[in-house]
Amino acid sequence: MNAPVRDLATAATMAQAMKIMRATTTEVVVSVTRPAGGDWPALRLLLDGQDYATIRPAALLRGDATVAELTIPLPGLPDGRPHAVAIADAATGLLAPGSNLRPVAPTKALRALVIYPAGEVYDHDKVRWYRAPMEKLLSDYFNIGDMIVYDSTLKLLRYAHLEPMKIMNPTEADIERYASEFDYVFVRGSNFIHEKMEWFRAIEVLERVKLPVYAIGVGAQASQNRAIDLPEGSKRFWQIVGDRCAAIGVRGAFSAETLRRNGVGNVEVVGCPSIFRTRQRDLAIKVPDQREIRKVAFSLRREFDSSYTANPETYIRNQRQALLKVDSQSEMVMSSHGEQEEKAFFLRDDAAKAKAVAEFVHSGWWDGPDDARMRDIYERRLFSFFDVERYDEFARGIDLAVGYRVHGVLPAVAHGVPGVLVAYDTRSQELAETLKIPVVPEAALAEGGWRAVYQETALNALAKSYAQSYDRMRGFLDKNGIPHRM
């Protein structure tokens, strides 16, 4: 009998013929493809490198299907769960992608590793930004949206213990402990699919730590819909992730196409965990008559670069006009999501505020240091936060969320608040399309404020489609065997 081929590059050629979709201590689910005009390939099941059984799909499958999923029961071993489960082509010995990983024990208190956390975790699944001296909080930019996605992902997953996976300076002891003590790895959802992404030593660690790897709501980032050619390191990272799961969960069609363009085909559009953070499938999203709307949250994204907008001057001008228009139409609160200058006002630091005003004037965000309307908003109607739980409290008190921040809108919708998102980059556009969030051009909000973009028909479509979007995310988690609480 041929020995299994363990070279990962060679095994990758098996992706179209067979693949392990998920493996637990009780069963392994395999996708198998029959060649056109040919027979189903026979499979060998190996536990800890030893032959256990030969499976012949031709004896189990009937009809003309060319692709099927087989569920193969695993034995109860005397010394506990196997350390590795593999599927090989019985004729060639080639291993299917997903082979030789530790199967997940469904009833076990699971230990998870996270790649690129965004904040410190407390009370099991709550996230706040890292503690730091006041001067560091004022001087550092951090993306609160990343913190919300991280917090939301933790609320969906099932685990008993969580640790960040070291990817910059892991020791041999770290890698050995990850391999022996943990059950799965997940990649926090964020803008991780782009030309400049740095994975440091993550590839090396994953190649040595044979665990399932799950990506939930990751996305590509560009200011406009264009082809993104990933560097070889990023391609290799996503190939490993793709081999370790049934499918990579991406937030929208643009992200899915970007990975496919770069040779990673097993992707599935699932949206973003932030809109499901309350875990309420039958969530009632309110769509009030606009005469009843009083409290409106405007989410600010004053920071920009070429990956967010192709025209910075127009972007700033439109956003300023939109902010002032919404303010004139409602009891508005402007929510800030990490920019240093806004933190200066939120944290009430006079010296930092003076520097912030100088920057506002220089960039054209304020008309001058005596811009009374903007100063009034910054002094009296600015909300920010360092703890995601505070945003939940804030969202429950508003009637409508509009603006430029995906994570100023999605987590509000998760509490039943209607939301409208400004489309200014591929990320906001594809998430809006995936989750049926009403999306409007920058100029629409700038010219007419929230009243011009509050369309009950579009918001009712969001409300009606929410359960379907929820089921899609839950089905994705089930398909991948991701331990979850949805």
Q: Residue 97 is encoded by which pair of tokens?
A: 């992608």
Give me the pLDDT at residue 402, please.
98
Residues 23-80 pLDDT 10s: 999 999 999 999 888 899 999 999 999 999 999 999 888 888 899 999 999 988 766 7
How do the domains of the chain map onto residue ranges? 8-89, 111-279+469-480, 290-466
Q: Residue 80 is encoded by which pair of tokens?
A: 């506990």
**What does the alpha-carbon distance between residue 49 and residue 41 come to, in Å, rounded to a whole number?**
20
Contacts of residue 301, defined as CB under 8 A and 6 or more positions apart, other chains included, come to 308, 319, 337, 403, 404, 405
| Residue ranges in the chain modelled with pLDDT below 50 | 1-15
Give me the pLDDT at residue 201, please.
98
How buried is 397 (Cβ within 10 angstroms: 0-12 exposed, 13-18 middle, 19+ buried)?
A: exposed
Q: Residue 172 is encoded by which pair of tokens?
A: 């041999």
Q: Residue 353 is encoded by which pair of tokens?
A: 């505020």
Contacts of residue 203, defined as CB under 8 A and 6 or more positions apart, other chains included, come to 233, 236, 237, 240
Are the folds of 111-279+469-480 and 290-466 the same?
Answer: yes
How buried is 354 (Cβ within 10 angstroms: 0-12 exposed, 13-18 middle, 19+ buried)?
A: exposed
Residues 326-357 pLDDT 10s: 999 999 999 999 899 999 999 999 999 999 99
Give me the pLDDT at residue 426, please.
72
Give me the pLDDT at residue 2, please.
41
**What does the alpha-carbon distance between residue 378 and residue 390 come to, in Å, rounded to a whole number?**
19
Task: Kindly report the CATH class assigned to 290-466.
Answer: alpha beta
E strands, 270-424, in order: 295-299, 331-335, 382-383, 400-403, 419-423
**What does the alpha-carbon distance between residue 332 and residue 2 come to, in Å, rounded to a whole number?**
70
Give the phi and the psi of residue 206 in degrees, each rounded to 5: -65, -35
Element (H, E) at 460: helix 456-480
Give the phi and the psi of residue 37 in degrees, each rounded to 5: 75, 0
The CATH number of 111-279+469-480 is: 3.40.50
